[in-house]
Structure 1
Amino acid sequence: MAAQDAAAGAGEVVQNVLAELPDLLAVAVVDARTGTSLAAHSNTASIAPATAAAFNAEVVRQKQKALTALNLIDEHIEDILISLSNQLHLMKLADGGRKFIYLAVSAHNTNLAAAREVLRVQAGQLE
Protein backbone atom coordinates (compact mmCIF):
# COMPACT_ATOMS: atom_id res chain seq x y z
CA MET A 1 0.00 0.00 0.00
CA ALA A 2 2.86 2.41 0.74
CA ALA A 3 4.19 1.99 -2.81
CA GLN A 4 0.74 2.80 -4.21
CA ASP A 5 0.53 5.90 -2.00
CA ALA A 6 3.99 7.02 -3.16
CA ALA A 7 3.05 6.54 -6.81
CA ALA A 8 -0.23 8.42 -6.33
CA GLY A 9 1.58 11.29 -4.60
CA ALA A 10 4.21 11.35 -7.33
CA GLY A 11 1.55 11.45 -10.03
CA GLU A 12 -0.15 14.36 -8.31
CA VAL A 13 3.15 16.26 -8.10
CA VAL A 14 3.80 15.70 -11.82
CA GLN A 15 0.32 17.00 -12.67
CA ASN A 16 0.78 20.03 -10.39
CA VAL A 17 4.13 20.92 -11.98
CA LEU A 18 2.62 20.52 -15.44
CA ALA A 19 -0.27 22.82 -14.47
CA GLU A 20 2.16 25.50 -13.23
CA LEU A 21 4.69 25.11 -16.07
CA PRO A 22 2.68 23.92 -19.09
CA ASP A 23 5.52 24.61 -21.54
CA LEU A 24 7.97 22.34 -19.70
CA LEU A 25 9.88 19.78 -21.72
CA ALA A 26 9.73 16.96 -19.17
CA VAL A 27 9.07 16.31 -15.51
CA ALA A 28 9.46 13.23 -13.31
CA VAL A 29 9.41 12.24 -9.67
CA VAL A 30 12.32 9.90 -9.09
CA ASP A 31 13.46 7.48 -6.39
CA ALA A 32 17.02 8.75 -5.85
CA ARG A 33 18.32 5.39 -4.61
CA THR A 34 17.15 3.29 -7.55
CA GLY A 35 16.73 5.84 -10.33
CA THR A 36 13.20 4.60 -10.88
CA SER A 37 10.70 7.11 -12.18
CA LEU A 38 7.63 7.06 -9.90
CA ALA A 39 5.64 9.30 -12.27
CA ALA A 40 6.59 11.25 -15.38
CA HIS A 41 5.40 13.38 -18.27
CA SER A 42 7.13 14.64 -21.41
CA ASN A 43 5.98 17.25 -23.92
CA THR A 44 8.71 16.27 -26.38
CA ALA A 45 9.82 13.03 -27.97
CA SER A 46 13.46 14.01 -27.52
CA ILE A 47 13.40 13.53 -23.73
CA ALA A 48 12.45 10.19 -22.21
CA PRO A 49 11.85 11.00 -18.53
CA ALA A 50 12.46 7.43 -17.35
CA THR A 51 15.89 7.41 -19.01
CA ALA A 52 16.70 10.88 -17.70
CA ALA A 53 15.59 9.78 -14.23
CA ALA A 54 18.12 6.96 -14.09
CA PHE A 55 21.05 9.11 -15.20
CA ASN A 56 20.11 12.05 -13.01
CA ALA A 57 19.76 9.77 -9.99
CA GLU A 58 23.42 8.92 -10.52
CA VAL A 59 24.26 12.65 -10.57
CA VAL A 60 22.44 13.08 -7.24
CA ARG A 61 24.12 10.04 -5.66
CA GLN A 62 27.57 11.18 -6.76
CA LYS A 63 27.01 14.67 -5.38
CA GLN A 64 25.83 13.17 -2.09
CA LYS A 65 29.01 11.07 -1.98
CA ALA A 66 31.07 14.20 -2.69
CA LEU A 67 29.53 15.99 0.29
CA THR A 68 30.52 13.06 2.49
CA ALA A 69 34.05 12.91 1.04
CA LEU A 70 34.45 16.65 1.62
CA ASN A 71 33.23 16.22 5.21
CA LEU A 72 30.40 18.70 4.66
CA ILE A 73 28.30 17.01 7.33
CA ASP A 74 26.12 20.05 8.05
CA GLU A 75 25.18 20.49 4.38
CA HIS A 76 22.51 18.83 2.27
CA ILE A 77 21.60 19.23 -1.37
CA GLU A 78 18.62 21.49 -2.00
CA ASP A 79 18.70 21.30 -5.77
CA ILE A 80 21.01 20.74 -8.71
CA LEU A 81 20.91 22.85 -11.87
CA ILE A 82 22.46 21.78 -15.15
CA SER A 83 22.50 24.55 -17.75
CA LEU A 84 22.66 23.41 -21.36
CA SER A 85 22.82 25.67 -24.39
CA ASN A 86 19.05 25.47 -24.94
CA GLN A 87 17.69 23.73 -21.85
CA LEU A 88 17.76 23.90 -18.07
CA HIS A 89 17.61 20.65 -16.12
CA LEU A 90 16.74 20.93 -12.44
CA MET A 91 16.68 18.29 -9.75
CA LYS A 92 14.92 19.32 -6.53
CA LEU A 93 15.54 16.90 -3.69
CA ALA A 94 12.71 15.88 -1.37
CA ASP A 95 11.89 13.37 1.33
CA GLY A 96 15.29 13.68 3.00
CA GLY A 97 17.12 13.17 -0.30
CA ARG A 98 15.34 9.90 -1.03
CA LYS A 99 13.36 11.37 -3.93
CA PHE A 100 13.75 14.23 -6.34
CA ILE A 101 11.72 16.08 -8.91
CA TYR A 102 13.43 16.25 -12.29
CA LEU A 103 12.43 19.13 -14.54
CA ALA A 104 13.63 20.02 -18.04
CA VAL A 105 12.60 23.40 -19.47
CA SER A 106 13.63 25.74 -22.26
CA ALA A 107 16.52 27.98 -21.28
CA HIS A 108 15.14 30.74 -23.48
CA ASN A 109 11.57 31.13 -22.30
CA THR A 110 11.49 29.86 -18.72
CA ASN A 111 11.88 32.00 -15.63
CA LEU A 112 14.36 30.00 -13.54
CA ALA A 113 13.23 31.56 -10.25
CA ALA A 114 9.59 30.69 -10.98
CA ALA A 115 10.50 27.12 -11.95
CA ARG A 116 12.52 26.68 -8.76
CA GLU A 117 9.64 27.99 -6.66
CA VAL A 118 7.21 25.54 -8.28
CA LEU A 119 9.62 22.69 -7.49
CA ARG A 120 10.15 23.92 -3.92
CA VAL A 121 6.42 23.93 -3.24
CA GLN A 122 5.84 20.55 -4.90
CA ALA A 123 8.80 18.91 -3.15
CA GLY A 124 6.97 19.59 0.11
CA GLN A 125 4.18 17.33 -1.13
CA LEU A 126 6.62 14.40 -1.26
CA GLU A 127 7.72 14.67 2.38
Structure 2
Amino acid sequence: MSNFLNQFTEDIKSNVPGYVAVSVTEVSTGVCYVSHSNKDDFDPEIASAYNLEVVKAKYKAIDALGLSSKIQDIIITLTDQIHIIDVSENGEYFIYLAVDTSNANLGMTRALLKKYKKDVVSNM
Protein backbone atom coordinates (compact mmCIF):
# COMPACT_ATOMS: atom_id res chain seq x y z
CA MET A 1 0.00 0.00 0.00
CA SER A 2 2.79 2.42 0.79
CA ASN A 3 4.24 2.69 -2.74
CA PHE A 4 1.18 4.34 -4.26
CA LEU A 5 0.71 6.52 -1.16
CA ASN A 6 4.32 7.64 -1.35
CA GLN A 7 3.92 8.37 -5.08
CA PHE A 8 0.70 10.29 -4.38
CA THR A 9 2.47 12.38 -1.73
CA GLU A 10 5.36 13.10 -4.09
CA ASP A 11 2.96 14.10 -6.90
CA ILE A 12 1.10 16.48 -4.61
CA LYS A 13 4.29 17.99 -3.14
CA SER A 14 5.85 18.51 -6.56
CA ASN A 15 2.86 19.69 -8.57
CA VAL A 16 0.38 21.55 -6.38
CA PRO A 17 1.24 25.25 -6.17
CA GLY A 18 1.33 26.53 -2.61
CA TYR A 19 1.53 23.03 -1.13
CA VAL A 20 1.70 23.04 2.69
CA ALA A 21 0.58 19.56 3.85
CA VAL A 22 -1.22 16.39 2.85
CA SER A 23 -2.48 13.22 4.54
CA VAL A 24 -4.69 10.20 3.84
CA THR A 25 -6.88 8.98 6.71
CA GLU A 26 -9.38 6.17 7.22
CA VAL A 27 -12.74 7.48 8.44
CA SER A 28 -13.82 4.49 10.55
CA THR A 29 -10.59 4.13 12.54
CA GLY A 30 -8.90 7.52 12.27
CA VAL A 31 -5.70 5.81 11.12
CA CYS A 32 -3.52 8.16 9.10
CA TYR A 33 -1.79 6.10 6.39
CA VAL A 34 0.51 8.79 5.06
CA SER A 35 1.24 12.41 5.91
CA HIS A 36 3.74 15.07 4.95
CA SER A 37 4.21 18.77 5.57
CA ASN A 38 6.74 21.23 4.24
CA LYS A 39 6.48 23.20 7.50
CA ASP A 40 7.99 21.92 10.74
CA ASP A 41 5.25 23.54 12.82
CA PHE A 42 2.35 22.09 10.78
CA ASP A 43 1.40 18.52 11.75
CA PRO A 44 -1.01 17.07 9.17
CA GLU A 45 -1.77 14.07 11.41
CA ILE A 46 -3.13 16.35 14.11
CA ALA A 47 -5.06 18.30 11.48
CA SER A 48 -6.46 15.02 10.14
CA ALA A 49 -7.63 13.95 13.59
CA TYR A 50 -9.64 17.16 13.94
CA ASN A 51 -10.84 17.04 10.34
CA LEU A 52 -12.11 13.52 10.96
CA GLU A 53 -14.49 15.08 13.49
CA VAL A 54 -15.61 17.56 10.81
CA VAL A 55 -16.34 14.69 8.40
CA LYS A 56 -18.25 12.73 11.06
CA ALA A 57 -20.28 15.83 11.99
CA LYS A 58 -21.17 16.38 8.34
CA TYR A 59 -22.28 12.75 8.00
CA LYS A 60 -24.52 13.24 11.07
CA ALA A 61 -25.97 16.42 9.56
CA ILE A 62 -26.69 14.65 6.26
CA ASP A 63 -28.37 11.82 8.17
CA ALA A 64 -30.41 14.22 10.35
CA LEU A 65 -31.64 16.00 7.24
CA GLY A 66 -32.58 12.73 5.59
CA LEU A 67 -30.39 13.42 2.57
CA SER A 68 -29.12 10.68 0.29
CA SER A 69 -26.19 12.77 -0.91
CA LYS A 70 -22.56 11.82 -0.37
CA ILE A 71 -19.77 14.16 0.67
CA GLN A 72 -17.39 14.99 -2.19
CA ASP A 73 -15.24 17.50 -0.38
CA ILE A 74 -15.28 20.04 2.40
CA ILE A 75 -13.42 23.27 1.80
CA ILE A 76 -12.26 25.52 4.60
CA THR A 77 -10.88 28.88 3.55
CA LEU A 78 -8.62 30.61 6.04
CA THR A 79 -7.07 34.04 5.57
CA ASP A 80 -3.78 32.55 4.33
CA GLN A 81 -4.58 28.90 3.55
CA ILE A 82 -7.15 26.67 1.89
CA HIS A 83 -7.85 23.30 3.53
CA ILE A 84 -9.56 20.64 1.44
CA ILE A 85 -11.02 17.47 2.93
CA ASP A 86 -11.69 15.22 -0.06
CA VAL A 87 -13.78 12.16 0.88
CA SER A 88 -13.49 8.98 -1.21
CA GLU A 89 -16.56 7.89 -3.16
CA ASN A 90 -17.14 4.98 -0.79
CA GLY A 91 -16.76 7.27 2.24
CA GLU A 92 -14.04 5.12 3.81
CA TYR A 93 -11.08 7.52 3.45
CA PHE A 94 -10.34 11.18 3.13
CA ILE A 95 -7.46 13.15 1.76
CA TYR A 96 -6.55 16.30 3.64
CA LEU A 97 -4.68 18.94 1.67
CA ALA A 98 -3.56 22.38 2.84
CA VAL A 99 -2.23 25.04 0.46
CA ASP A 100 -1.00 28.61 0.88
CA THR A 101 -3.42 31.05 -0.77
CA SER A 102 -0.62 33.37 -1.88
CA ASN A 103 0.58 30.66 -4.31
CA ALA A 104 -2.54 28.62 -5.05
CA ASN A 105 -6.07 28.97 -6.32
CA LEU A 106 -8.98 26.77 -5.39
CA GLY A 107 -9.93 25.60 -8.87
CA MET A 108 -6.44 24.48 -9.83
CA THR A 109 -5.86 22.84 -6.45
CA ARG A 110 -9.08 20.84 -6.68
CA ALA A 111 -8.31 19.78 -10.26
CA LEU A 112 -4.81 18.60 -9.36
CA LEU A 113 -6.05 16.76 -6.28
CA LYS A 114 -8.67 14.99 -8.39
CA LYS A 115 -5.99 14.00 -10.91
CA TYR A 116 -3.60 12.54 -8.35
CA LYS A 117 -6.13 10.89 -6.04
CA LYS A 118 -7.24 8.37 -8.68
CA ASP A 119 -4.45 5.94 -7.74
CA VAL A 120 -5.19 6.31 -4.04
CA VAL A 121 -8.90 5.59 -4.48
CA SER A 122 -8.30 2.57 -6.73
CA ASN A 123 -5.65 1.04 -4.42
CA MET A 124 -7.17 1.54 -0.97
TM-score above 0.5: yes
CA distance in 1, matches of 2:89, 2:7: 15
TM-score scaled by structure 2? 0.88
Partner of 2:39: 44
Q: C-alpha offsets along residues 88-127 of structure 1, whole Å, 9 cap, x if unaligned? A: 1001111511111101111222021111011112232223
Query: How far off is 1:9 after superposition?
Result: 2.9
Q: Distance in 1 between matches of 2:20 and 2:51?
A: 16
Would you say how many aligned residue pairs link Structure 1 and Structure 2? 121
- Paired residue type of 1:48: D
Which residue of the partner structure matches residue 35 of structure 1? 30
In the alignment, is the contact (CA less than 8 A) between 1:33 and 1:61 conserved in 2?
no
* 2:5 matches 1:16: no
Alignment of 1:19-98 (within 5 A): 19-21=14-16, 23-73=18-68, 75-98=69-92
Contact 1:89 1:102 in 2 (8 A): yes
CA, structure 1 residues 23+83, in 2 after alignment: closer, same or farther (shift >3 Å)? closer
Give the aligned residue type for 1:38.
Y
Return the offset for 1:78. Answer: 0.6
Unaligned residue ranges in structure 2 (runs of 5+): none
RMSD: 1.5
Following TM superposition, by how much is the alpha carbon of 1:46 offset from its aligned partner in structure 2, in angstroms?
Answer: 2.3
How far apart are residue 85 of structure 1 and its match?
1.2
List structure 1 runs of 4+ shifted beyond 6 angstroms.
Answer: none
Q: Which structure carries more relative contact order (alpha carbon 8 Å, separation 6+)?
A: 2
Deviations 1:18-53 (A, max 9, x none): 121164111111112222211111001221011111
Q: Aligned pair 1:109/2:103, yes or no?
A: yes
- DSSP 3-state at the match of 1:97: coil
Q: Is the 8 A contact 2:17 2:103 kept in 1?
A: no
Structure 1 unaligned regions, length at least 5: none
Moved more, 10-19 or 50-59: 10-19
